[in-house]
C-alpha cells in the first residue's frame, strides 16, 4: 500500500453527495475491469445493513446533503432496496447505479411509482461497456447487453429517463457518440450518457503506479475534487470515494458519518486519474 500518512489531502468542504454501498461487493456479474472487484462469490465487502443505511440517511439529511447514490455490487440484489429508496427519496434526489441485468417489469413499475410519488428526482444509471453486444459481453458477461438494453427500454417507457454509464476503455469522444446512437436506435428519445475514465483499481488495477504529491497539486484547487464533497457509507466504515470503499487506507471512520468529515488522503493511483481527468462520480 502507498504511504497514506504522507499522501496529500483533499479538504472536506460539504456533504453534497452521500453514497451507500448497499450490497457491498455482491453482484451477479464479474466484469473484467470492475472498480471494486465485485462478483457472485462471498463478497469481500459485505452488504449494508438496512438500519445502518437509514441511520446514514438521517445523519446526511441533518448535514444538508444534496443527493444520494445507491451502489454496490448490484444494489437491486439488496432485499430492502425499495423501502430504502423510498426513505432516501423523501429527503433528497437519489440515484441507483445498476448493471441493468436483474430488472423485471414489476420492479420497473415499482421504481416508476416511487419516482412519480417523490418531489425529488430518481435517477437510474445503467452500466454498459460497449454499444455493441459482442464487445460489451466480452467485459460484462454473455447476455448482459441484451438484458441491460431491455432494462433501458423498460425504464424509458415508464418515463424514468435512464442514464447509460460507460467506461472509456478506448479513449476518444466517439465513445459518447456511439452510446447516444445506440440509445436512439433503441427508440429512446432523450438519450442520456455519462462516460467515465478507466480507474486503476479493483480488477483494472495495474502495476504499482504513480501517486499524487503536494507538488503535483501546487496551484490546483483541491476543493474541486469529488472527495471534498462526497462521503461513502459501507458495511465496515465511511470513506471519501465510492471506488475506494473497503480499502483500509481510504477509511475515514468506523461508522458515524460525523466522524468522517475531515480531510481525505489522496493516496491511491485512482486519485491520479480523478485529478488528471476532472472526472466526477456524480451524474452531472
Partner 1 sequence: MPERVSEHRRLAVLGGVYANAEALAAVLADARRRDAEAVFCLGDLGGFGAHPDRVFPLLRQHGVRVVRGNYDEAVATAAADCNCGYTDPRDNHYARISYAYTVAHTSAANRAWLATLPGHLRIALGPHRVLMCHGSPRRINEFLWESTTPDGLLRRLLAAHAADVLLCTHTGLKWRRALNGGAAHAVNVGAVGRPENDGTPDVWYALLTAEPELEVEFVSVAYDHEAAARAVEAEGLPPEFAETLRTGWWTTCLENLPARERARGRF
**Where do contacts with partner 1 occur on this chain (CB under 8 A)?**
14, 61-67, 91-93, 115, 119-123, 159-161, 173, 176, 180, 189-190, 192-195, 280, 283-284
Q: Where are the alpha helices (DSSP H) in 118-230?
A: 133-140, 144-157, 174-185
Residue 271: which of 18, 5, 8 has the closest Cα?
8
Q: Which is nearer to partner 1, 140 or 194 (CB)?
A: 194
Which of 162, 246 has the CB closer to partner 1?
162
User: Shortest Cβ distance from residue 164 to partner 1 (Å)?
Assistant: 12
Closest distance of CB 226 from partner 1, Å: 11
By beta-carbon proximity to partner 1, the closer residue of 133 and 195 is 195
Following DSSP, what letter does each residue of 100-142 receive, concatenated? SSS--HHHHHHHHHHHHH-SSPEEEEEEES-SSHHHHHHHH-T
Q: Is the Cβ of residue 67 or residue 129 nearer to partner 1 in the bound state?
A: 67
Minimum distance from residue 60 beta carbon to partner 1 (Å): 8
For the bound state, the minimum distance from the C-beta of residue 205 to partner 1, rounded and expressed in Å, comes to 25
Q: At residue 167, what are phi and psi to the nearest 5 degrees? A: -95, 135
Q: How many CA atoms lie within 13 A of 270 on its CB side?
A: 28
Q: Return d(Cα 57, Cα 63) in angstroms, integer.
A: 10
Greatest distance between any 2 Cα atoms in the chain = 53
The smaller minimum CB distance to partner 1, of residues 33 and 194, is found at: 194
Q: What minimum distance in Å lies between the beta carbon of 84 and partner 1? A: 16
CA torsion sign for 18, 24, 28, 29 is: positive
What length does the chain have?
284
Amino acid at each position: 500500500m502507498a504511504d497514506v500518512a504522507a499522501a496529500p489531502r483533499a479538504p472536506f468542504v460539504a456533504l453534497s453527495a452521500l453514497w451507500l454501498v448497499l450490497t457491498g461487493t455482491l453482484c451477479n456479474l464479474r466484469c473484467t475491469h470492475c472498480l471494486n472487484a465485485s462478483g457472485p462469490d462471498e463478497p469481500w465487502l459485505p452488504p449494508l445493513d438496512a438500519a445502518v443505511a437509514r441511520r446514514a440517511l438521517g445523519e446526511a439529511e441533518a448535514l444538508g446533503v444534496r443527493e444520494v447514490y445507491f451502489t454496490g455490487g448490484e444494489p437491486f440484489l439488496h432485499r430492502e432496496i425499495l423501502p430504502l429508496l423510498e426513505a432516501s427519496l423523501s429527503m433528497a434526489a437519489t440515484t441507483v447505479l445498476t448493471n441493468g441485468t436483474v430488472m423485471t417489469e414489476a420492479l420497473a413499475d415499482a421504481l416508476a411509482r416511487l419516482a412519480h410519488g417523490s418531489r425529488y428526482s430518481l435517477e437510474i444509471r445503467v452500466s454498459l461497456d460497449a454499444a455493441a453486444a459482442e464487445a460489451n459481453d466480452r467485459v460484462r458477461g454473455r447476455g448482459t447487453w441484451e438484458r441491460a438494453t431491455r432494462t433501458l427500454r423498460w425504464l424509458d417507457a415508464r418515463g424514468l429517463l435512464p442514464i447509460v454509464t460507460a467506461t472509456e476503455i478506448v479513449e476518444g469522444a466517439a465513445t459518447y457518440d456511439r452510446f447516444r446512437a445506440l440509445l436512439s436506435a433503441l427508440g429512446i428519445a432523450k438519450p442520456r450518457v455519462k462516460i467515465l475514465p478507466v480507474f486503476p483499481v479493483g480488477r483494472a488495477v495495474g502495476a504499482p503506479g504513480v501517486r499524487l504529491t503536494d507538488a503535483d497539486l501546487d496551484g490546483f484547487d483541491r476543493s474541486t475534487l469529488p472527495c471534498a464533497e462526497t462521503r461513502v457509507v459501507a458495511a465496515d466504515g465511511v470513506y471519501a470515494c465510492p471506488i475506494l470503499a473497503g480499502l483500509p487506507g481510504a477509511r475515514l471512520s468506523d461508522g458515524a458519518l460525523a466522524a468522517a468529515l475531515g480531510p481525505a488522503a489522496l493516496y491511491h493511483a485512482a486519485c491520479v486519474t480523478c485529478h488528471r481527468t476532472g472526472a466526477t462520480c456524480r451524474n452531472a
